[in-house]
């Protein structure tokens, strides 16, 4: 036994080290380890204390409700605020107040509104891997089409980020419509042949299948050479079989091509200044949004443009003088008239009071331009058929005039007893 003692001693040492190790291990093991499995259960709750950074769209809507309503109506309704504006956690904490706002400065809470060109292209750059029905552009081609000459123009110069296509009907309420494909959704460039000439080509709905009359009319109009049906009638694919189509016609949408901008050149398409094109900004804001169609229907295609409300602004009575003088043909689209007198023989302007006959010479002496707005450059002559006021040598001259034109002519302004004053 004595000779084997050293072996036993060794084994005792080893076992005691192991046992002490196990005891120490159990003491040093974290508290909640092994409660519900081979892990530290406290960690499950600790991880929930991580701060929330990305904000939900509902949080933004609490304060920015007007932008939220605009956003929900238009094509970007699925794009959350954080995609363009960043997480905004400091902004929300600062403006909500409370103890969370204590360490945040106003500069940190600022959310920039400008969005870089590259940021829009993250989604809208044309790549083969993107689904063909998704709106995507090649920047050079898009700018060439619109004749944009400054190549780093930002998208937001034309497209408002909260309502990028200025829809009038809310996205999710628009008409459901069978899918109408564009050639470029499958082909890289528009093919020369029509699909009907290709054997085995899948069947495609064409607009003319249902809307033949409109398509035939459109093909005779100038827009036909530059745009197609779906350029203006935006199509939003909902799933594999259907989508929604927008009737469009919002003036702001037309302006995407037709507004004069410093970064666009002066070639096609014809461009206008807005809102001076219609004379007064109030016309667009308060009245019909489809105002372009009021006058330019003949350039697009036959359509049913019904007006239930007055397209003119409230102060049109005083404002129309300038406008009517220069744009008579525009008035004629709705009003049957040849010149101002067509309306004004019956309805005189407010300034022409009942004693205008006697009052007007005084007024005309100092405000000849005002008369000319309606009555033309030779305002006095257009009524009086004589030079007005009477020239200095009228004493001699009037004899000839009366002889030529008869006394009735003078009686227009002067009464019959007037001649007796001298004669």
Rounded to the nearest whole angstrom, what is the least distance from the CB of residue 291 to another protein in the complex?
A: 32
Nearer to another protein, 2 or 423 (CB): 2
Judged by CB under 8 A, the stretch of 3-11, 213-221, 380-388, 398-406 that binds another protein is 3-11
| Binds another protein by CB under 8 A, chosen from 62, 63, 103, 134 | 134
User: What does the alpha-carbon distance between residue 82 and residue 85 come to, in Å, rounded to a whole number?
Assistant: 5
Told to check if 6 binds another protein by CB under 8 A, we report yes
> Beta-carbon neighbour count of residue 166 at 10 Å?
21
Interface with another protein: number of residues (CB under 8 A): 66
User: Contact 359/353 with Cβ under 8 angstroms?
Assistant: yes
User: What does the alpha-carbon distance between residue 259 and residue 274 come to, in Å, rounded to a whole number?
Assistant: 7
- The number of residues making up the chain comes to 423
Residue whose C-alpha is closest to residue 256's, from 158, 154, 143: 158
Q: Cis before residue 269, ω within 30 degrees of 0?
A: yes
Strand partners, 125: 137
Rounded to the nearest whole angstrom, what is the least distance from the CB of residue 188 to another protein in the complex?
A: 5
- Binding-residue pattern over the window 136 to 165 for another protein, x denoting contact by CB under 8 A: x-----------------------------
Reading the block at residue 53, the tokens are 């950074």
| Binds another protein by CB under 8 A, chosen from 96, 130, 212, 260 | 130
Question: Distance between terminal CA atoms of the chain?
Answer: 172
For CA atoms 359, 365, 370, 373, the dihedral sign is positive
Rounded to the nearest whole angstrom, what is the least distance from the CB of residue 263 to another protein in the complex?
A: 23
> What ranges make up the beta strands (E) of 132-279?
175-178, 235-237, 242-245
Q: Torsion angle of alpha carbons 23, 24, 26, 30, nearest 10°?
A: 170
Q: Which residues of 260-270 are buried (b: 16+ CB within 10 A; e: fewer)?
A: ebebbeeeeee
With H, G, I as helix, E, B as strand and everything else as coil, classify residue 259.
Answer: strand
| Binds another protein by CB under 8 A, chosen from 66, 108, 122, 152 | 122
| Binds another protein by CB under 8 A, chosen from 96, 125, 299, 357 | 125
Rounded to the nearest whole angstrom, what is the least distance from the CB of residue 76 to another protein in the complex?
A: 8
Nearer to another protein, 102 or 127 (CB): 127
CA 406 to chain centre: 63
> Beta-carbon neighbour count of residue 413 at 10 Å?
15
With H, G, I as helix, E, B as strand and everything else as coil, classify residue 209.
Answer: helix
Judged by CB under 8 A, the stretch of 114-122, 149-157, 226-234, 273-281 that binds another protein is 114-122
Backbone φ and ψ of 27, nearest 5° = -70, -40
> Beta-carbon neighbour count of residue 204 at 10 Å?
14
Residue that has been written with the tokens 């519900």 in this structure: 36
Rounded to the nearest whole angstrom, what is the least distance from the CB of residue 303 to another protein in the complex?
A: 33
Reading the block at residue 81, the tokens are 């605020």
Judged by CB under 8 A, the stretch of 62-70, 119-127, 272-280, 333-341 that binds another protein is 119-127
Nearer to another protein, 129 or 422 (CB): 129
Judged by CB under 8 A, the stretch of 4-12, 100-108, 175-183, 364-372 that binds another protein is 4-12
User: Contact 82/54 with Cβ under 8 angstroms?
Assistant: yes
Reading the block at residue 149, the tokens are 């000459």
Judged by CB under 8 A, the stretch of 129-137, 272-280, 305-313, 361-369 that binds another protein is 129-137
Rounded to the nearest whole angstrom, what is the least distance from the CB of residue 1 to another protein in the complex?
A: 10
Query: According to CB under 8 A, which residues from 49 to 108 bind another protein?
Result: 49-54, 56, 76, 78-80, 82-83, 86-87
Rounded to the nearest whole angstrom, what is the least distance from the CB of residue 46 to another protein in the complex?
A: 6
Nearer to another protein, 84 or 254 (CB): 84
User: What does the alpha-carbon distance between residue 273 and residue 295 come to, in Å, rounded to a whole number?
Assistant: 16
Strand partners, 40: 33
- Binding-residue pattern over the window 181 to 210 for another protein, x denoting contact by CB under 8 A: -------x----------------------
Nearer to another protein, 184 or 378 (CB): 184
| Binds another protein by CB under 8 A, chosen from 97, 98, 131, 200 | 131
Nearer to another protein, 41 or 274 (CB): 41
Query: According to CB under 8 A, which residues from 21 to 40 bind another protein?
Result: 21, 23-34, 36-40
Q: Which residues bind another protein (CB under 8 A)?
A: 2-7, 9-10, 13-14, 16, 20-21, 23-34, 36-54, 56, 76, 78-80, 82-83, 86-87, 118, 121-123, 125, 127-131, 134, 136, 188
């Amino acid at each position: 036994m004595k000779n084997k003692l050293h072996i036993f001693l060794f084994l005792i040492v080893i076992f005691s080290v192991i046992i002490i190790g196990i005891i120490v291990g159990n003491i040093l093991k974290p508290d909640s380890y092994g409660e519900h499995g081979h892990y530290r259960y406290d960690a499950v709750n600790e991880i929930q204390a991580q701060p929330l950074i990305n904000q939900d769209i509902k949080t933004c809507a609490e304060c920015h409700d007007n932008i939220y309503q605009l956003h929900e109506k238009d094509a970007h309704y699925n794009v959350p605020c954080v995609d363009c504006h960043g997480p905004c956690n400091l902004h929300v904490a600062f403006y909500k107040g409370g103890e969370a706002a204590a360490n945040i400065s106003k500069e940190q809470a600022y959310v920039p509104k400008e969005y870089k060109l590259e940021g829009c292209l993250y989604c809208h750059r044309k790549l083969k891997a993107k689904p063909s029905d998704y709106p995507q552009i090649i920047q050079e081609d898009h700018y060439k089409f619109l004749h944009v000459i400054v190549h780093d123009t930002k998208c937001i110069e034309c497209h408002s980020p909260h309502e990028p296509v200025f829809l009038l009907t809310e996205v999710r309420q628009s008409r459901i419509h069978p899918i109408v494909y564009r050639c470029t959704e499958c082909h890289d460039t528009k093919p020369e042949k029509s699909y009907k000439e290709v054997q085995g080509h899948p069947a495609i709905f064409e607009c003319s299948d249902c809307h033949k009359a409109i398509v035939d009319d459109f093909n005779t109009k100038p827009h036909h050479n530059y745009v197609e049906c779906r350029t203006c009638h935006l199509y939003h694919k909902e799933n594999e079989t259907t989508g929604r189509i927008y009737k469009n016609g919002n003036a702001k949408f037309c302006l995407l091509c037709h507004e004069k901008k410093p970064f666009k050149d002066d070639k096609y398409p014809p461009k206008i200044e807005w809102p001076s094109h219609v004379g007064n900004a109030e016309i667009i804001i308060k009245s019909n949004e489809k105002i372009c169609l009021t006058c330019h229907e003949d350039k697009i295609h036959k359509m049913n443009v019904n007006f239930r409300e007055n397209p003119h602004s409230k102060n049109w009575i005083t404002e129309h003088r300038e406008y009517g003088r220069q744009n008579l043909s525009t008035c004629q689209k709705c009003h049957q008239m040849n010149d101002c007198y067509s309306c004004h023989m019956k309805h005189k302007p407010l300034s022409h009071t009942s004693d205008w006959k006697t009052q007007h010479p005084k007024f005309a002496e100092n405000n000849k331009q005002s008369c000319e707005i309606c009555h033309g450059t030779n305002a006095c002559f257009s009524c009086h058929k004589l030079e007005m006021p009477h020239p200095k040598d009228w004493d001699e001259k009037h004899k000839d005039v009366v002889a030529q034109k008869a006394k009735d002519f003078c009686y227009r302004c002067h009464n019959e007893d007037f001649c007796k004053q001298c004669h």
